[in-house]
């Protein structure tokens, strides 16, 4: 599977990473090469094989459905690049 510039631009958009127009050809080539390496997986007979969901079989633990944590507004906002009046601040989301 080879990735063209348009696909590379789409992937960058989905990943929310700004990529300059000029950088797209090199990026497409690089991603194509890595995906080419993965093509080897097509040689494997996977008929009837279950995809792995958990490497060590274990039951997920259950706990009571109750509040166990909270009241940490100050701590949670401590590292925010822009926090105001007890909230995370971001650019305008809705016009």
Partner 1 sequence: MSELTSLTIAEARERLRAGEVTSRELTEACLTAIDAADALNAFVHKTPEIALERADAADARIQAGDAPAMCGIPVGIKDLFCTEKVPSQAASRILEGFRPEYESTVSQNLLDDGAVMLGKLNMDEFAMGSSNETSVYGDAVSPWRRGNDTTPLTPGGSSGGSASAVAADLCLAATGTDTGGSIRQPAAFVGITGLKPTYGRCSRWGIVAFASSLDQAGPMTKSVRDAAIMLGSMAGHDPLDSTSADLAVPDFEAMITGDIRGKKIGIPREYRMDGMPDEIEKLWVAGADMLRDAGAEIVDISLPHTKYALPAYYVIAPAEASSNLARYDGVRFGHRAKLAQGDGITEMYEKTRAEGFGDEVKRRVMIGTYVLSAGFYDAYYNRARKVRTLIKKDFEDVFAAGVDAILTPATPSSAFGLGEMADADPVQMYLNDVFTVTVNLAGLPGISVPAGLDAQGLPLGLQLIGRPWEEGDLLNTAQILEDSAGFLAKPAKWW
Closest approach, Cβ 52 to partner 1, in A, equals: 4
Q: Which residue has the tokens 């989905």?
A: 14
Which CB atom, from 38 or from 66, has the smaller least distance to partner 1?
Answer: 38
DSSP letter, residue 37: H
Quick one: which H or E segment has residue 74? Answer: helix 73-77
How far apart are alpha carbons 51 and 32 in whole angstroms? 25
Q: Which of 38, 34, 44, 43 is nearest to 11 (CA)?
A: 34
> What is the x/- site pattern for partner 1, positions 5-34, by CB under 8 A?
--xx--xxxxxxxxx-------x--xx-xx
Which residues would be at the binding site for partner 1 (CB under 8 A)? 1, 3, 7-8, 11-19, 27, 30-31, 33-35, 37-44, 46, 49-56, 58, 60-61, 63, 72, 75-76, 78-82, 88, 90-93
């Amino acid at each position: 599977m080879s990735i063209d510039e348009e696909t590379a631009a789409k992937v960058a958009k989905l990943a929310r990473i700004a990529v300059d127009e000029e950088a797209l050809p090199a990026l497409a080539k690089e991603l194509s090469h890595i995906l080419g390496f993965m093509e080897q997986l097509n040689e494997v007979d996977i008929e009837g094989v279950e995809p792995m969901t958990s490497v060590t079989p274990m039951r997920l633990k259950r706990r009571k459905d109750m509040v166990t944590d909270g009241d940490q507004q100050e701590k949670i906002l401590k590292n925010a690049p822009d926090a105001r009046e007890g909230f995370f601040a971001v650019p305008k989301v809705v016009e």
